[in-house]
Amino acid sequence: MPIRGAFAIVVDKSEEGRRLDVVIAARLPECSRSLAASLIAHAKILVDGRTKKPGYRVKPGDEIRGHIPPPAPVRFNPEPIPLDILFEDEHIVVVNKPAGLVVHPAPGHASGTLVNGLLYHCPTLGGIGGVLRPGIVHRLDKDTSGTLVVAKTASAHENLARQFKSRGIQKTYLALVYGEMAADSGGIGLPIGRHPVDRKRMSTQSRKARAAETSWRVRERWTGITLLELDLQTGRTHQLRVHCAALHHPIVGDPVYGRGRSAFQHLKNKGRAHRLCERLKIVSRQMLHAWRLAFTHPQTGQWVSFASPLPADMEQLIAELRNNA
CA nearest to 253, candidates 214, 202, 223, 289: 289
- Parallel/antiparallel/unpaired status of strands 193-194 and 185-188: unpaired
Query: Distance between CA atoms of 271 and 264, rounded to whole angstroms?
Result: 11
Helix (H, G, I), strand (E, B) or coil at 162: helix
Cβ atoms of 95 and 150 within 8 Å: the answer is yes
Active site residue 12: no
Closest CA to 3 of 21, 25, 34: 25
Cα–Cα distance, 65 to 75 (Å, whole number): 30
In whole angstroms, give the CA distance from residue 144 to residue 114.
Answer: 13
Sign of CA dihedral 248, 253, 254, 259: positive
Diameter of the chain by CA atoms? 81
DSSP string, 247-280: TT-PBTT-TTT--GGGGGTT-S-HHHHHHHHHHH
The burial of 13, by beta-carbon neighbours within 10 Å (0-12 exposed, 13-18 middle, 19 or more buried), is given as: exposed
Cβ neighbors of 1 (< 8 A, separation 6 or more) are 30, 71, 124, 127, 153
Which one of 21, 62, 141, 143 is the catalytic residue? 141
Q: Give the residue numbers annotated as catalytic, written as ranges.
A: 141
